Protein backbone atom coordinates (compact mmCIF):
# COMPACT_ATOMS: atom_id res chain seq x y z
CA UNK A 1 0.00 0.00 0.00
CA UNK A 2 2.79 2.38 0.96
CA UNK A 3 4.79 1.63 -2.19
CA UNK A 4 1.70 2.31 -4.33
CA UNK A 5 1.17 5.66 -2.64
CA UNK A 6 4.86 6.54 -3.00
CA UNK A 7 4.89 5.64 -6.71
CA UNK A 8 1.74 7.67 -7.28
CA UNK A 9 3.25 10.72 -5.57
CA UNK A 10 6.60 10.36 -7.35
CA UNK A 11 4.89 9.83 -10.72
CA UNK A 12 2.40 12.65 -10.03
CA UNK A 13 -0.54 10.57 -11.24
CA UNK A 14 -2.81 7.78 -9.97
CA UNK A 15 -1.10 4.38 -9.83
CA UNK A 16 -3.42 2.87 -12.48
CA UNK A 17 -2.47 5.65 -14.93
CA UNK A 18 1.21 5.26 -14.06
CA UNK A 19 1.06 1.51 -14.67
CA UNK A 20 -0.71 2.09 -17.99
CA UNK A 21 1.90 4.62 -19.11
CA UNK A 22 5.03 2.81 -17.91
CA UNK A 23 4.13 -0.89 -18.18
CA UNK A 24 0.86 -1.90 -19.83
CA UNK A 25 1.09 0.50 -22.80
CA UNK A 26 4.77 -0.16 -23.64
CA UNK A 27 4.17 -3.93 -23.49
CA UNK A 28 1.03 -3.69 -25.64
CA UNK A 29 -1.16 -5.29 -22.96
CA UNK A 30 -4.48 -4.22 -24.44
CA UNK A 31 -6.52 -6.74 -22.43
CA UNK A 32 -5.04 -5.98 -19.01
CA UNK A 33 -7.15 -3.47 -17.12
CA UNK A 34 -7.54 -2.06 -13.63
CA UNK A 35 -10.15 -3.76 -11.47
CA UNK A 36 -11.40 -2.34 -8.18
CA UNK A 37 -13.76 -5.20 -7.38
CA UNK A 38 -13.66 -8.99 -7.30
CA UNK A 39 -15.53 -9.12 -10.62
CA UNK A 40 -13.49 -10.96 -13.24
CA UNK A 41 -14.48 -10.76 -16.90
CA UNK A 42 -15.49 -14.03 -18.56
CA UNK A 43 -14.05 -16.42 -19.44
CA UNK A 44 -12.42 -16.87 -16.05
CA UNK A 45 -9.96 -19.45 -14.81
CA UNK A 46 -11.35 -20.63 -11.49
CA UNK A 47 -9.03 -20.53 -8.49
CA UNK A 48 -9.02 -22.72 -5.39
CA UNK A 49 -7.20 -22.49 -2.06
CA UNK A 50 -6.80 -24.37 1.17
CA UNK A 51 -5.42 -21.40 3.08
CA UNK A 52 -8.37 -21.20 5.50
CA UNK A 53 -8.00 -24.84 6.60
CA UNK A 54 -6.83 -23.77 10.08
CA UNK A 55 -9.55 -21.13 10.37
CA UNK A 56 -12.20 -23.79 9.79
CA UNK A 57 -10.30 -26.28 11.97
CA UNK A 58 -10.07 -28.86 9.18
CA UNK A 59 -7.74 -31.77 9.94
CA UNK A 60 -4.52 -31.82 7.88
CA UNK A 61 -5.36 -35.38 6.87
CA UNK A 62 -8.69 -34.40 5.31
CA UNK A 63 -8.72 -32.99 1.77
CA UNK A 64 -9.81 -29.35 1.85
CA UNK A 65 -10.08 -26.56 -0.69
CA UNK A 66 -12.58 -23.87 -1.50
CA UNK A 67 -13.25 -21.84 -4.60
CA UNK A 68 -11.60 -18.42 -4.35
CA UNK A 69 -12.40 -17.09 -7.81
CA UNK A 70 -14.53 -14.26 -6.45
CA UNK A 71 -12.30 -13.32 -3.53
CA UNK A 72 -11.45 -9.65 -3.87
CA UNK A 73 -7.82 -9.42 -4.99
CA UNK A 74 -7.89 -5.68 -4.26
CA UNK A 75 -7.57 -6.30 -0.53
CA UNK A 76 -4.03 -5.49 0.55
CA UNK A 77 -2.96 -4.00 -2.77
CA UNK A 78 -2.75 -0.31 -3.63
CA UNK A 79 -5.67 1.16 -5.55
CA UNK A 80 -4.83 0.82 -9.23
CA UNK A 81 -2.51 -2.17 -8.84
CA UNK A 82 -5.20 -4.87 -9.07
CA UNK A 83 -5.41 -5.88 -12.72
CA UNK A 84 -7.32 -8.47 -14.71
CA UNK A 85 -5.90 -9.92 -17.91
CA UNK A 86 -6.31 -12.62 -20.52
CA UNK A 87 -3.97 -15.48 -21.39
CA UNK A 88 -2.41 -13.66 -24.34
CA UNK A 89 -1.40 -10.68 -22.21
CA UNK A 90 -0.25 -13.08 -19.50
CA UNK A 91 2.16 -14.75 -21.93
CA UNK A 92 3.39 -11.36 -23.18
CA UNK A 93 4.00 -10.32 -19.57
CA UNK A 94 5.92 -13.50 -18.73
CA UNK A 95 8.18 -13.11 -21.76
CA UNK A 96 8.75 -9.42 -21.01
CA UNK A 97 9.67 -10.09 -17.37
CA UNK A 98 11.93 -13.01 -18.27
CA UNK A 99 13.74 -11.01 -20.93
CA UNK A 100 13.95 -7.76 -18.95
CA UNK A 101 12.19 -5.88 -21.74
CA UNK A 102 11.37 -2.81 -19.63
CA UNK A 103 14.59 -2.83 -17.59
CA UNK A 104 17.96 -1.22 -18.11
CA UNK A 105 20.81 -3.66 -18.74
CA UNK A 106 22.16 -3.11 -15.21
CA UNK A 107 18.73 -3.69 -13.61
CA UNK A 108 18.24 -6.89 -15.61
CA UNK A 109 21.69 -8.12 -14.54
CA UNK A 110 20.87 -7.34 -10.90
CA UNK A 111 17.66 -9.38 -11.24
CA UNK A 112 19.19 -12.39 -12.99
CA UNK A 113 22.95 -12.33 -12.39
CA UNK A 114 24.82 -15.14 -10.62
CA UNK A 115 25.71 -12.75 -7.81
CA UNK A 116 22.39 -13.74 -6.22
CA UNK A 117 23.57 -17.32 -5.62
CA UNK A 118 24.20 -17.85 -1.91
CA UNK A 119 22.32 -14.74 -0.84
CA UNK A 120 20.82 -14.95 2.63
CA UNK A 121 21.00 -17.45 5.41
CA UNK A 122 18.91 -20.35 6.58
CA UNK A 123 16.09 -19.38 8.90
CA UNK A 124 15.74 -22.16 11.52
CA UNK A 125 11.97 -21.73 11.85
CA UNK A 126 11.57 -22.10 8.10
CA UNK A 127 13.49 -25.34 7.65
CA UNK A 128 13.66 -27.28 5.39
CA UNK A 129 11.91 -25.02 2.86
CA UNK A 130 14.10 -21.93 3.35
CA UNK A 131 17.75 -22.37 2.55
CA UNK A 132 20.58 -20.40 0.94
CA UNK A 133 20.34 -20.68 -2.83
CA UNK A 134 23.41 -22.34 -4.31
CA UNK A 135 24.34 -23.92 -7.60
CA UNK A 136 24.27 -27.30 -5.80
CA UNK A 137 20.64 -26.89 -4.78
CA UNK A 138 19.05 -27.39 -1.35
CA UNK A 139 21.08 -28.94 1.45
CA UNK A 140 20.43 -32.59 2.13
pLDDT tens readout for residues 57-116: 999 999 999 999 888 767 778 888 888 888 999 999 999 999 999 999 999 988 887 666
Alpha carbons 92 and 31: distance in angstroms, whole number: 11
Domain count, the chain: 3
Alpha carbons 7 and 35: distance in angstroms, whole number: 18
Model-wide pTM > 0.85 = no
Alpha carbons 131 and 139: distance in angstroms, whole number: 7
Q: Are 82 and 25 part of one and the same domain?
A: yes
* Domain with 79 in it: 1-37+73-102
The pLDDT, as a whole number, for residue 55 is 95
Q: Are 79 and 29 part of one and the same domain?
A: yes
74, 82 contact by CB (below 8 A)? yes
Q: Are 61 and 123 part of one and the same domain?
A: no
The number of helix segments (H) and strand segments (E) in the chain equals 5, 4
* Residue 139 reports pLDDT greater than 70: no
Q: Which of 51, 71, 91 is the last residue of a domain?
A: 71
The pLDDT, as a whole number, for residue 102 is 95
Alpha carbons 90 and 140: distance in angstroms, whole number: 36
Amino acid sequence: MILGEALSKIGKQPLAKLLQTKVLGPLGLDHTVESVTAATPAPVLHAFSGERRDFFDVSPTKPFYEETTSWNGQWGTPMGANETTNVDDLITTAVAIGSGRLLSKSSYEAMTGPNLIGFGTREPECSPECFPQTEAGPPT
